[in-house]
Amino acid sequence: MDGARGLVVVAEDEPAIADVERLYLRDAGFEVLVLRDGADALAAIRRAAPVAAVVDIGLPGLDGIELVRALRAEDDWTPVVLVTARDTEVDRVLGIELGADDYVTKPFSGRELAARVRGLVRRATPRSAPVVVAGALRIDTVRRTVTLDGRPVALTATEFDLLAHLASEPGRVFERSRLLSAVWGVADFSGTRTVDVHVAQLRGKLGDSAGIRTVRGVGYAFDPAGPR
């Protein structure tokens, strides 16, 4: 079982925290490569094509935000969990807007981190499911691709999962807390702002074709014909 789930690159310059991350990720069945410098971690992700990366925002040299920015600029959509010691919405929102899939705040539970990485990797694994077509938008949940007017649209793993989950039941209103549970696999409902940021990202990439309607005070629904 050791390493059977694939390689996770951990970018963390604090040895004690890196040891916790390594321990829990290995217990969860991942092979783990730890780097303590942002530039080295970026090179390792490019070279090794891991199933996921856990990246500290406060890395020396190339910080975590810049690392994610560099990956996404290269059209590399390796699932990324950001780790931050600064419990501010600005850090979290900035990381998500740049293409991170999830985040945890120090101090964090090693078990929770491993669960989040498992969830990202599981959702990124192709599985049998129908293709959803809504106007010019086509969501292929087997190949995990999205096209708009026949052109591919690059989405992060979490952006794809959110869109596919909403589109799985057109017209249904999903509460933010339910989306957090279904897409992120967490029950920390204080983080519902994360859902709003990802919806904004989808709308930015897909425009009106995103088909995501806001239901004030409740959540979101997939309704291509309806107002945003």
Residues 20 and 102 in one domain: yes
CA atoms 127, 100, 208, 171: torsion sign: positive
Query: Within a domain: residue 37?
Result: yes
> What's phi and psi for 138, nearest 5 deg?
-130, 120
Q: Say what the alpha-carbon torsion angle 41, 201, 107, 56 is, to the nearest 10 degrees.
A: 10
Average per-residue pLDDT for the chain: 84
Q: Pick from 57, 88, 123: which residue ends a domain?
A: 123
Amino acid present at 183:
V
How would residue 4 be classed by pLDDT, with cut points 50, 70 and 90? low
CATH code of 173's domain: 1.10.10.10
What is the domain extent for residue 172? Answer: 131-222
For residue 75, the SS3 value is: coil
- Give the residue-averaged pLDDT of 82-87: 76
150, 194: one domain: yes
pLDDT at 45: 93
Same domain, 90 and 51: yes
Q: How many domains does the chain have?
A: 2
Determine the Cα–Cα distance for residues 171 and 158; give it in Å rounded to an integer: 21
- The CATH number linked to 39 is 3.40.50.2300
Taken in order 74, 71, 156, 34, the sign of the CA dihedral is: positive
Q: Is residue 228 part of a domain?
A: no
- Say yes or no: 119 and 164 in one domain: no
**Residue 13's closest CA among 25, 24, 1, 21?**
21
pLDDT tens-digit map of 160-181: 989 988 988 888 888 888 888 7
Burial class (CB in 10 A: 0-12, 13-18, 19+), 180: buried
Asked whether residue 15 falls in the same domain as residue 117, the answer is yes
The residue from 123, 141, 172 where one domain ends is: 123
CA 173 to chain centre: 22
Final residue belonging to a domain, choices 69, 104, 123: 123
Q: Kindly state whether residues 160 and 105 are assigned to the same domain.
A: no
